[in-house]
Amino acid sequence: MNPRLAILAGALGAFVLWDPAVRAAEVYPGCAVPAAKFNHVWYVDPVNGKTQADGGDGSRTAPWSSLSAIVSSTIQPGYARPLLSSIPYGHRQPLPGTTQHGYADETGALVHPGDEILLMTGQYGDVSIGAYAVRTTNSDFVTIAAAPGQTPVLATLKLSATNMWRFQHISVQSIGKNPAIFVSDQGRLTTSDIIFESIVVGSPESVDGWTQAQWIADAHGNGFQAVSSPNGLNTECVSFTGGKIYGVRFGAGLLAHKSVFSNNTIDHFGDDGLDYAANDMVISGNYIHDNEDVGDGNHNDCMQGFPGPLDKATAPINPNGVPFTAYSNITIKDNRCIRQTDPNLKFPVYLQGIDAFDSDWTNLTVVNNVIVTSACWGIGYGSVHGGKIINNTVLDDGSDIGTKNRNGGIMCRPAIIVGDKTHQGLQSNDVVIRNNLANAIYVAPKMTIDHNICLAIKGGCRSKPGDYREHNTNDPRGAEGEFVTFDPAKLMFDLRLKPGALAIGAGNPDGAPQTDITGAPRGMPVDIGAYRYDHGK
């Protein structure tokens, strides 16, 4: 196997434009799951379809011409009313001495919750679902998907104050619009059970030759963003899986509760790959790589815990009197953050790893992640309560981008760092740092830290395992002594353990994940790092 491809295994394989097999949606536990069968299937063709007035009936042979005519609360030309029964739409109805703005009922609607809407190849423009100040309520999922073999493209997609929508195998691509996909609750109305599967988000043109000015002008500011109002549960049960986001500045903003973001690829992006700020969240199996310096001064992160919306009236307050956001039950596992894999990347820049410099984090689990980068923060947290930082692999890629001071001296290496506090949060407690491979490890006092290996660079380690209680050690051979292939000059990283690696069988099973980053059972004894050693079994 090509060693450069080993670390990419599963990243592109997880993304499929069309899979005819029926699969259960991946959602957070307790969230609604779509049924396997549809009540009725409808067709839309923006190239060859017809309006309702011209004889379109939504069948395969006479498809409609507009998706917005089905889902928008604004009546489209050639259609009598929105075609989906659950869509409220504004109309004027006469009352004695005046007119009053109201919303129609479902009389005459053809499409109903529980139906599937299949899209043919073509451009669908901006699609918006949700009437202002009135909730769009579905009793069952409405599924909008690409018809087999077809490539429908939306310019943008926005949903607000609604529920039970499933989108599959479509692209959302345009220039200079922000965000590409946006899910919100209008600040007060519940939005829930929104599912995105195998969605492509980005630019309709190649970004390889963009200047920094073009990145600022033409890229989506956010590829995907789901937002709940401050300190509320008004947006929840949002999942985005098996997709690809590219050519955007911020890849994904996960600010909705009970969310799943898994098996996605984010590449060639300009700022952060992923920002998260919500409760009850799983971020797993994603591959984030090749970020660009777009010249806006942002400190780029692969995954950053974000302050999020703050309601000062209800937010907790730290001892200094500063209100802060507090989040709980976050699992970040089986992800890959690689600063650069493309040798032709136009504006390479440093990339911080998986971190949070703000807010307060309870029941935080960060396991089986791989980070290959050049920045001070590989995995970095503060204000953690009940945290597990276990079986991760964090490596310096040797580029020294982002690790030098103004005088050109090396000031840091990508490290696992668990500090006392974030900018606003409370003092960390009950944190376990175990079974990790890293070039440096720094932690605040009174934490459990054991069975970690510091990989020396030029014979030395930044951290001193002797200071960290029992069973921590150094490997003076560095990364070359542990992995099948570690060749930063050629951007080749096969981070499976090789024979003779000190990490083999040297871990602590207490709290270790049952599988490794590939999903393979770890077995006993437990290996250190994100990959288990393959004994040929």
Instruction: List the domain boundaries for the chain.
Output: 350-537
- What is the pLDDT at residue 10? 33
Sequential DSSP letters for 459-475: TB-SS-GGGS-SS-EEE
Residue matched to tokens 């007119």: 99
Angle at 39 (CA atoms; ends 36, 42), nearest 5 degrees: 105
Cα 44 to Cα 177: distance, rounded to the nearest angstrom = 24
Asked if pLDDT for residue 417 goes beyond 50, the answer is: yes
pLDDT, tens digit, for every residue of 331-375?
999 999 999 999 999 999 999 999 999 999 999 999 999 999 999
pLDDT at 107: 58
Task: Reply yes or no on whether the pLDDT at 196 is more than 80.
Answer: yes
In percent, the amount of the chain with pLDDT more than 90 equals 74
Q: Cα(165)–Cα(347) distance, rounded to whole angstroms?
A: 38
What is the pairing mode between strands 235-241 and 377-381? unpaired
Does pLDDT of 533 surpass 60?
yes
208-238 pLDDT per residue, tens: 999 999 999 999 999 999 999 876 668 999 9
The answer to whether residue 377 scores a pLDDT higher than 60 is yes
Residue pLDDT, tens place only, 477-511:
989 999 999 999 999 999 999 999 999 999 999 99
Q: Residue 410's pLDDT band (boundaries 50, 70, 90)?
A: confident
Beta strands (DSSP E) in 382-536 are: 384-390, 393-396, 415-418, 429-434, 437-438, 441-443, 448-450, 453-455, 473-475, 483-487, 492-497
**Structure confidence at residue 11 (pLDDT):** 32
Q: Is the pLDDT of residue 290 over 50?
A: yes
Q: pLDDT tens for residues 462-483? A: 665 555 556 888 888 989 999 9
pLDDT band at 23 (very low <50, low <70, confident <90, very high): low
pTM of this prediction? 0.92
Three-class SS of 250-305: EEEEEECECEEEECCEEEEECCCCEEECCCCEEEECCEEEEEECCCCCCCCEEEEE
Please say if the pLDDT value at position 12 is more than 50: no
